[in-house]
Amino acid sequence: MADQANKYPENVSGKFYVDDQCIDCDLCRETAPANFKRNDDGGHSFLYKQPENPDEEKLCKEAMEGCPVEAIGSDGE
Q: Answer yes or no: is pLDDT of 76 > 90.
A: no
User: Residues of 4-20 as b/e, b for ≥16 C-beta within 10 angstroms?
Assistant: eeebbeebeeeebbbbe
pLDDT of residue 6: 97
Range of the domain at 70: 4-74
The domain total for the chain is 1
Summary mean pLDDT of the chain: 96
* CATH, residue 50: 3.30.70.20
Instruction: Yes or no: say if 73 and 7 are a contact pair by the CB < 8 Å rule.
Output: yes
Q: Answer yes or no: is pLDDT of 77 > 90.
A: no
Instruction: With CA atoms as reference, report the closest residue to 66 among 35, 31, 37.
Output: 31
